[in-house]
Amino acid sequence: MGLQHIHWVRICYAGRWPHKHLQSLKSAYGHAAYLGDHLVFLEEVFSRPWEKLVDLNLAIMRHLMGSLQMETKLVLLSDMGIKARGTQLLTEVCRALGASTFLAQTQAPKYLDAKLSQKGEIEFRLVKYATPIYPQLWGDFLPNLSTFDLVFNCEPKARDILLRSPPTISGF
């Protein structure tokens, strides 16, 4: 039996986790300058009876992309009909989307087949992202929090904060 595809994962509502998540966000960010701008969305997204995790995740991603003025098309692998695995999967996705370069985080080489990238079909490049620093509610800056943290604290400047920390791109 193989791994379960993310588009098959169903949401379990035992334990009232949606209510708990919403209350946690309200409690943690109650004094954040821009939480109020997102409360209607949060209340809707956590009260809706989502069947699949992918649908909940996509709703959140689209909301955050809108908040950050990101006009990027989301393409689901499940809609592409590609059956390959591993590095070959990445190569097939790039080919299907008309991409000649695949950007991967710096830890990726240990999981990818370098021979495929050396064939020249698709160029594999490594990306290292700099953590953007921005004003948070309490104490010293805590890196790597949710995008909601950035948006709730700095929404009008959130996009600029992300763009002022460009990634470093290097060879594979």
pLDDT in tens, 41-53: 999 999 999 999 9
3-state secondary structure of 113: coil
Euclidean distance between CA atoms 163 and 140, whole angstroms: 22
Please give the pLDDT value at position 119: 64
Q: State the average pLDDT for the chain.
A: 90
pTM reported for the whole predicted model: 0.87
Query: Tokens at residue 3, please?
Result: 């791994």
Euclidean distance between CA atoms 65 and 104, whole angstroms: 21
Closest CA to 93 of 71, 127, 116: 116
DSSP state for residue 14 in the 8-state scheme: G
Residue 137 has pLDDT above 60, yes or no: yes
The least confident of 62-66, 73-77, 120-124, 155-159 is 120-124
Tell me the pLDDT tens digit for each residue of 15-39.
899 999 999 999 999 999 999 999 9
DSSP state for residue 52 in the 8-state scheme: B
Please give the pLDDT value at position 161: 96
Closest CA to 162 of 53, 151, 50, 3: 151
Q: Which residues, other chains included, contact 92 with Cβ-Cβ below 8 Å and sequence gap of 6+?
A: 82, 84
